[in-house]
């Protein structure tokens, strides 16, 4: 106890608290806690694995897009009488926008579950 701190000693109160200390009334608390920790870890592992797959498919998608751009640039194919070369720029714009959004979401998800 702290005599030097001018706190009243009050041994009676000290005894009252110690002799009537509350005990955890839920005997399975530790079991439930460890189960919850394990469940959270399993869920995190699943999410991490899904994220990894997402990145793989994202990169495949970007590479496919680059390959398609190179192919379309030299192509003479027409769609509804419009040459593929003319359609390339708007398609690139839309695809870039989508890829940037997906990239941002993947990075955010990676930070959240790291």
Taking a C-beta distance cutoff of 8 angstroms, is the pair 77, 83 a contact? Answer: yes
By CB under 8 A, tell whether 43 contacts other proteins.
no
Considering the complex, state which of residue 18 and residue 111 has its C-beta at the smaller distance from other proteins. Answer: 18
Minimum distance of other proteins from residue 110's CB (angstroms): 18
Considering the complex, state which of residue 41 and residue 104 has its C-beta at the smaller distance from other proteins. Answer: 41
By CB under 8 A, tell whether 105 contacts other proteins.
no
By CB under 8 A, tell whether 74 contacts other proteins.
no
């Amino acid at each position: 106890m702290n005599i030097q701190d001018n706190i009243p000693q009050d041994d009676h109160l000290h005894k009252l608290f110690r002799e009537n200390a509350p005990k955890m009334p839920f005997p399975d608390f530790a079991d439930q806690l460890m189960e919850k920790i394990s469940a959270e870890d399993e869920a995190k592992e699943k999410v991490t694995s899904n994220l990894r797959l997402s990145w793989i498919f994202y990169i495949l998608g970007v590479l496919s897009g680059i390959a398609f751009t190179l192919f379309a640039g030299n192509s003479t194919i027409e769609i509804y009488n419009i040459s593929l070369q003319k359609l390339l720029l708007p398609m690139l714009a839309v695809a870039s926008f989508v890829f940037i959004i997906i990239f941002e979401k993947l990075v955010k998800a990676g930070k959240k579950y790291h």
